């Protein structure tokens, strides 16, 4: 135990703000001290490497707040802990910690806290504001994104390694990244403690079976990080050097320079004071130029947070129940839509009675808050696993496959897990392309989880909270399937960003408010303008009219027709008649081969392959070539016959 050292020059000082910092006069210390036991600070410096206790004088206490000034104290290399009686603990408001252990290494003692460092030169960097309608949101784990040997970066699993991936993210079309917890937390889980995302939000504890007697077990890792921690400190184990705060700021500045915002996930326990949560968020915005947050807690006062003027242009995400129907002056609140995730999954695999839910989710948008859509996230199956597994395979988590949700709404396309059968691989690729199309062609803000764009897999594990290994890490050695999916994802993101009608600021109402002859969005069945919404329907045509651009911007005269067929047989959808001088042309399809647009007497019809989505756009008509027209008519019958045989 450290000896108590009486410093002669201990003076009273201001009580707030709480924390430990160097002032002109010396070291200022202010903290909350509950109870009547002796309390103070333990200093570790050049003279006292084993630590020395400096108690708070009774004259330096008001209520439960103790504050003192160690006049003339200048050793900026010092570190510290707090004590209260026999209890030693970290300063919950500390701004830095000693980075003495690697990731996943059990710490022999508490990491020492450090006072805030020197000011950081941000240059001309500023926080980035990306409106929800313009946002392409990309979630990732700082360590897992580049830790795999195939990542191709120098500093794997670090803030610097993530910075090395900026050119890739920029090429993909991302303009906002969402980092899973990157504040300071202890990744070594106590014995008999397990974290799942559902329980982390509610209580973040669950009892495990007792370990076998005499059997050594490696420490369990909380890879995700959904737990209480030191909320003012970037995670030191994600830095390759000792200055985690500096490396984190370098990373944010590099992302901003590339035009990409940075948002963070925070988990707060239920007993956390909402005012303290607000202070934490404001600190990260000011000190680290963070552009958004995803807040996770059993109880959140989102209205209090949203009313803070400093956060008026900061993205604030939470669950649908937490967000409610906030109607503030700025559209800074957003909700993650579980409805989109599960409804689109069920529609994707061809469930009955999903067509009306599909129509709801495609156009869902809200004036007062942002709606965040996803088909795969950090919790649950990866996109590749969604089309490869009917059930979870979490045996590696050590809980007899009892952890993780059983409600996955997935379909393995006929074979559980890996398959070398080409028809299975082709169907899985087609289903993933379908999912990407549904995500980026729907209104609301799309959220893509890192690696899903090139078919990264977790081998059927839908809850890899403790897997700091190849299961949870992103594998960058893409297969041919992965490269094709990546190219398709880039295409869909580029298309969405290029046309305002595909990411409207307001709800598309399905009416002709411009008196131009077309509504902003319309739905179609076998006949144009007559959608089939019966329980057995699995097909729908969606037309976006580009005349309905943003207010004050030039009108986009492009028309889009998205033909969706989640039935296991070929289907036909009617194409609406376009303004004079324009006609429909094929632009893209999730299936291989070019679908046929059939001309009838007064309308057109599109042949849509089984379990496929076809995209058509309107182009100006060109003079007809009689020779090509004749050949097209001759080939049409062969193509139709071939598609039916392939589906059979």
pLDDT digits (tens, 9 = 90+) for 220-235: 899 999 999 999 999 9
Q: What number of residues does the chain have? A: 648
Strands 571-575 and 604-608: antiparallel
- pLDDT score at 109: 87
Q: Residue 283's domain spans which residues?
A: 136-205+219-339+366-378+444-499
Task: Provide the 10 A C-beta neighbour count for residue 49.
Answer: 8
The reply to whether 142 and 27 lie within a common domain is no
Q: What is the CATH number of the domain that holds 302?
A: 3.20.20.80
Task: Provide the 10 A C-beta neighbour count for residue 521.
Answer: 22
Strands 39-44 and 79-84: antiparallel
The reply to whether 466 and 561 lie within a common domain is no
Q: What is the largest CA-CA distance in the chain?
A: 102
| Spacing of C-alpha 312 from chain mean position | 21
Strands 61-62 and 65-71: antiparallel
Domain-terminating residue out of 89, 108, 128: 89
Token code pair at residue 448: 């893509």
The reply to whether 489 and 531 lie within a common domain is no
Q: Is the pTM of this model over 0.75?
A: yes
Report the candidate in 321, 456, 470, 320 with the shortest Cα–Cα distance to residue 376. 456
Per the listing, tokens 């603990």 go with 89
The reply to whether 466 and 533 lie within a common domain is no
Q: How far apart are CA 28 and CA 55, in angstroms?
A: 13
Q: Do the domain assignments include residue 101?
A: no
Given a contact cutoff of 8 angstroms between Cβ atoms, the answer to whether 471 and 141 are in contact is: no
The reply to whether 74 and 153 lie within a common domain is no
- pLDDT score at 320: 82
Q: Do the domain assignments include residue 348?
A: no
Contacts of 517 (CB under 8 A, 6+ apart): 579
- pLDDT score at 326: 66
- Facing residues of 582 across strands? 620
Q: How many domains does the chain have?
A: 3
Please list, residue by residue across 555-579, b when 16 or more beta carbons sit within 10 angstroms of its beta carbon and e when fewer do.
ebebbbbbbbbbbeebbbbbbbebe
- pLDDT score at 189: 85
Q: Do the domain assignments include residue 370?
A: yes
Given a contact cutoff of 8 angstroms between Cβ atoms, the answer to whether 565 and 543 are in contact is: no
Given a contact cutoff of 8 angstroms between Cβ atoms, the answer to whether 481 and 387 are in contact is: no
The reply to whether 495 and 532 lie within a common domain is no
- pLDDT score at 622: 72
- pLDDT score at 422: 95
- Facing residues of 315 across strands? 292
pLDDT digits (tens, 9 = 90+) for 41-63: 999 999 999 999 999 999 999 99
Residues of the chain with pLDDT under 50: 194-195, 200-215, 552, 554, 648
- pLDDT score at 5: 52
The reply to whether 47 and 170 lie within a common domain is no
CA dihedral 180, 183, 189, 190 (to 10 degrees): -150
Q: How far apart are CA 464 and CA 49, in angstroms?
A: 40
- pLDDT score at 44: 95
Q: Do the domain assignments include residue 250?
A: yes
Strands 137-140 and 176-179: parallel
State the Cα angle at 80 between 78 and 84, rounded to 5°.
155
- Facing residues of 54 across strands? 41
Sheet containing 539-545: order of strands: 521-524, 539-545, 559-565, 612-620, 582-589
The reply to whether 279 and 370 lie within a common domain is yes
The reply to whether 84 and 192 lie within a common domain is no
- pLDDT score at 323: 80
Q: How far apart are CA 235 and CA 288, in angstroms?
A: 13
Q: Do the domain assignments include residue 567?
A: yes
End-to-end Cα spacing for the chain: 78
Q: What is the CATH number of the domain that holds 82?
A: 2.60.40.10
The reply to whether 39 and 151 lie within a common domain is no
Domain-terminating residue out of 58, 74, 89: 89
The reply to whether 551 and 572 lie within a common domain is yes
Q: Do the domain assignments include residue 121?
A: no
The reply to whether 154 and 298 lie within a common domain is yes
Q: Do the domain assignments include residue 272?
A: yes
Domain-terminating residue out of 480, 499, 518: 499
Q: Do the domain assignments include residue 98?
A: no
């Amino acid at each position: 135990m450290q000896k108590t050292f009486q410093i002669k020059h201990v003076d009273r000082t201001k009580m707030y703000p709480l924390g430990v910092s160097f002032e002109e006069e010396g070291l200022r210390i202010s903290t909350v001290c509950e109870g009547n036991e002796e309390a103070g600070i333990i200093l570790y410096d050049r003279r006292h490497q084993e630590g020395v206790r400096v108690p708070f004088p009774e004259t330096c206490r008001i209520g439960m707040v103790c504050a003192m000034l160690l006049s003339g104290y200048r050793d900026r290399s010092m570190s510290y802990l707090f004590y209260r009686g026999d209890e030693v603990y970290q300063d919950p408001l500390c701004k830095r910690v000693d980075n003495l252990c690697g990731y996943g290494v059990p710490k022999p003692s508490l990491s020492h806290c450090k006072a805030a460092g020197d000011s950081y030169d941000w240059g001309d960097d500023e926080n980035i504001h990306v409106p929800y309608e313009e946002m392409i949101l990309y979630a990732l784990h700082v360590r897992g994104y580049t830790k795999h040997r195939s990542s191709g970066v120098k500093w794997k699993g670090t803030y610097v390694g993530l910075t090395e991936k900026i050119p890739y993210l920029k090429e993909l079309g991302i303009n906002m990244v969402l980092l899973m917890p990157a504040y300071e937390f202890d990744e070594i889980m106590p014995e008999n403690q397990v974290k799942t995302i559902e329980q982390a939000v509610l209580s973040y504890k669950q009892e495990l079976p007792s370990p076998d007697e005499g059997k050594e077990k490696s420490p369990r890792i909380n890879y995700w990080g959904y737990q209480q921690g030191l909320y003012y400190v970037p995670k030191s184990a994600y830095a390759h050097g000792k200055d985690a705060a500096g490396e984190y700021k370098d990373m944010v500045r590099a992302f901003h320079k590339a035009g990409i915002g940075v948002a963070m996930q925070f988990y707060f326990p239920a007993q956390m004071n909402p005012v303290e949560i607000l202070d934490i968020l404001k600190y990260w915005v000011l000190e680290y130029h963070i552009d958004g947050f995803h807040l996770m807690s059993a109880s959140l006062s989102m209205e209090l947070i949203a009313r803070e003027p400093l956060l008026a242009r900061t993205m604030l995400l939470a669950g649908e129940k937490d967000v409610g129907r906030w109607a503030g002056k700025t559209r800074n609140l957003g909700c993650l839509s579980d409805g989109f995730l599960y409804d689109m999954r069920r529609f994707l695999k061809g469930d009955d009675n999903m067509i009306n839910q599909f129509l709801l989710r495609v156009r869902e948008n809200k004036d007062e808050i942002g709606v965040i859509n996803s088909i795969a996230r950090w919790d649950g199956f990866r996109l590749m696993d969604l089309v490869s597994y009917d059930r979870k395979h979490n045996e590696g988590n050590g809980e007899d496959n009892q952890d993780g949700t059983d409600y996955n709404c997935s379909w393995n396309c006929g074979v559980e897990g890996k398959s070398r059968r080409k028809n299975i691989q082709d169907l899985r690729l087609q289903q993933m392309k379908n999912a990407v199309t549904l995500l980026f062609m729907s209104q609301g803000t799309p959220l893509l989880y890192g690696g899903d764009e090139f078919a990264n897999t977790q081998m059927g594990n839908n809850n890899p909270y403790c897997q700091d290994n190849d299961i949870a890490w992103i594998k960058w050695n893409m297969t041919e399937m992965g490269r094709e999916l990546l190219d398709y994802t880039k295409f869909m993101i580029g298309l969405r960003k290029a046309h305002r009608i595909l990411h409207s600021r307001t709800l598309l109402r399905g009416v002709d408010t411009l008196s131009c002859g077309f509504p902003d969005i319309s739905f179609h069945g076998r006949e144009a303008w007559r959608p089939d919404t019966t329980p057995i329907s699995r097909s729908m045509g969606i037309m976006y009219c580009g005349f309905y651009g943003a207010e004050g911007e030039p009108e986009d005269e492009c028309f889009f027709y998205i033909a969706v067929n989640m039935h296991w047989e070929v289907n036909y959808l009617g194409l609406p008649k376009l303004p004079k001088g324009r006609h429909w042309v094929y632009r893209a399809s999730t299936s291989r081969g070019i679908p046929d647009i059939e001309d009838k007497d007064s309308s057109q019809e599109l042949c849509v392959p089984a379990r496929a989505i076809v995209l058509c756009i309107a182009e100006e008509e060109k003079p007809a070539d009689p020779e090509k027209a004749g050949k097209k008519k001759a080939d049409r019958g062969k193509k139709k016959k071939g598609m039916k045989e392939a589906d059979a």
